[in-house]
Amino acid sequence: MPQPKVKLVVTGDDFGYCERRNQGIVDLFKAGGISNVSLLVNAVSAEHAAELAKRNHIPIGLHANLSEGLPVSQDLTGSTLLNKDGFFHGKMGFREVLQSGQLKMSEVEAELRAQVNRFCELVGHMPYHMDGHQHVHVLPEVREVFAQVLSDFGITYTRVPIEPGLKFCTFLPSHLRDFNAQVEKDALESIEVFHRHGIRWPDVYLGLSTMGKNMSVSNLKRALGFTLEASLDDGVTSQLIQSNDAATDSYRLVTAELMVHPGYPSQPHQGGCGEGPDDFSQSADRLHELNTLRDPLVLNYYRQQGILLCAFKDF
């Protein structure tokens, strides 16, 4: 490949969720369709995932989880993070408890630190990056604690989920557009916090518009087009730009992350983070993502357009 125009991290989220998910992600890594993974350390197959990552030399970071399943910390009995059954409150439940003002940030911090330590036990080194399952890391109050934990552990990179062109994706259902809009608002308000703690992230984030059945070769090309055009002065993405000295006379090298959720579908009652697998995990959407990402049309497109797949540790 000639001098690349884009360094693209393709991150397989939810590594560790179940053994079938893990194997699908590894198969896709070997096929050149992803270049990085994000590990759920409270998932039932986290140890299996960590061993696979070591064996296959897969770059790996931490997918911090405050919303699904059981906690890692042993000191959270009766915690505001947990429901009456001892599980996290769920994707929307976590947000509702946070909004009510009942969530103790000291407990959020304790759980995040416990998850970093568990990651190190499983993998043998610090995470190369750390993001939040279901984007909890950019929520109000949580982002301050999250940033402090990253700073304390010396974890340099995170994810800021603001996707260029997302507002034009009218093919997404209304409930998803509403959720994504709130995620982007929270992410935008996280920028100052992350900057203050010396945390970095790629220039461009992609993935909200390409999840599950919405992933296709044409939709990936549409999303990646924003990166290739380097349209980073739209009033939102321009605030994400950080200094990058690598450039040529005709273009500036852009860094980007594409969030994906590939894998072989979970079997009923197998996988999850202590409560069993969710619907998305058991659906054909996971396999659809896997097959799309290893499609020769996608892999050839990367080469033709000067997109080099890499990992956060390569930045």
> Residues with catalytic annotation?
13
Distance of alpha carbon 133 from alpha carbon 127, whole angstroms: 15
Residue 153 structure tokens: 């552990």
Instruction: Identify which of 219, 241, 221, 245 has the alpha carbon closest to the alpha carbon of residue 230.
Output: 241
Distance of alpha carbon 219 from alpha carbon 240, whole angstroms: 23
Question: Which letter does DSSP use for residue 307 in this model?
Answer: E
Q: 235: Cβ–Cβ under 8 A, 6 or more apart, which residues?
A: none
R_g of the chain, CA atoms, integer Å: 18
Q: Are 64 and 137 in contact, with CB atoms under 8 Å apart?
A: yes
CA angle 24, 28, 30 (to 5 degrees): 120
H/E/C letters for each residue in 243-277? CCCCECCCCECEEEEEEECCCCCCCCCCCCCCCCC
Distance of alpha carbon 240 from alpha carbon 202, whole angstroms: 8
Kind and range of the H or E element at 120? Answer: helix 105-123
Distance of alpha carbon 230 from alpha carbon 253, whole angstroms: 9
CA angle 187, 191, 195 (to 5 degrees): 150
Q: Are 289 and 81 in contact, with CB atoms under 8 Å apart?
A: no
Q: Are 140 and 186 in contact, with CB atoms under 8 Å apart?
A: yes
